[in-house]
Amino acid sequence: MGRVIAAGVALGLCAVLSVSPPATADSGGGVDSAGNGRLDLAVTLDDRPIGNATVMIDPAKQIELTVTATNSGGTAVKVRSVRVSGVALALTFFAYDTTAPFEVPAHSRVTRTFVLDMADLSGQAIGLLPSTVELLDAQRGTLGEASTVADIRGSFWSVYGAFGLAMLVLTVLAWLTALLALARHRLPANRWRRGLRFLPAGFGTGLVAVVSLSVLRLVPPEPAIEIPVVLGAAVIAFLLGYLTPHPAPGPDSGETVRLSGDTREFNR
């Protein structure tokens, strides 16, 4: 059971450590992997700019997404589709692609408005999630993007909510396993191994904290937040295990046991 719990927590840890910094949206004038020019994006959601702001998304309502693409390069850029996605712990919890081809001429600006029906988002995410609006070419390469934090009014039993609940269960089991081993004096005699025994519980605690802060709409799970929280909780748990008392050794098979109320001795 302990190995299964550790494996589940390790999967979440690998997701956190594999987070890479997102590309910025102000990279106009560059060239993407397919050789197309990059676009600068200005995005509004229901007439509210998404830059440096938290935007609310209610799955029960349609949203109006307006994208203004600026081409600072010397060649026209062809856009095939627009994508809206949300990521947490390096996992994509929702992504919506809308095919709407248009072209942005050189040294020009084009504005397009899309009406998105995101009704099934209720079953995919809840709370604060870092989100991205991207323009894609025919090869699904990114031509330009803009980032924001979405406040999603989804269901607690969504994929993201269920992920957090599963991590909570695994973390509780990890702590119970470690503490029971401590109470029964079954922890390894080596301090480092005792610390490693508590490590999965620490990682799980950090992951649960990150997801809980997101679901409660307190702090979005961005890399600058989630990595220190998860690693900090892991270090604390490791130190707790490292500093636990040395397990009391049991009597050897040939040890002489003395009875307190009598002078008799016998060998076990």
C-alpha–C-alpha distance, residues 82 and 111, integer Å = 13
Is-contact 238 201, C-beta < 8 A? Answer: no
pLDDT for residue 248? 65
- pLDDT of 256: 53
From first CA to last CA, the distance across the chain in angstroms is 33
Rg (CA), the chain: 27
Alpha-carbon distances, residue 123 vs 29, 63, 65, 117, 188 (angstroms): 39, 17, 21, 14, 44
pLDDT of amino acid 157:
92
pTM above 0.85, yes or no: no
d(CA 186, CA 173): 17
The listed CATH number (2.60.40.10, 3.40.630.30, 3.50.50.60, 2.102.10.10) that belongs to domain 22-152: 2.60.40.10
Annotated domain spans of the chain: 22-152, 159-242
Amino acid at 143: L
Per residue of the chain (268 residues), give pLDDT as tens: 444 444 444 445 454 444 433 333 333 444 544 445 689 999 999 989 998 889 999 999 999 999 999 999 889 999 999 999 999 988 999 999 999 899 999 999 999 999 999 889 999 999 999 999 999 999 999 999 999 999 999 999 999 999 999 999 999 999 999 999 999 988 888 999 999 999 999 999 999 999 999 999 999 999 999 999 999 999 999 999 999 887 766 555 445 555 555 555 545 5
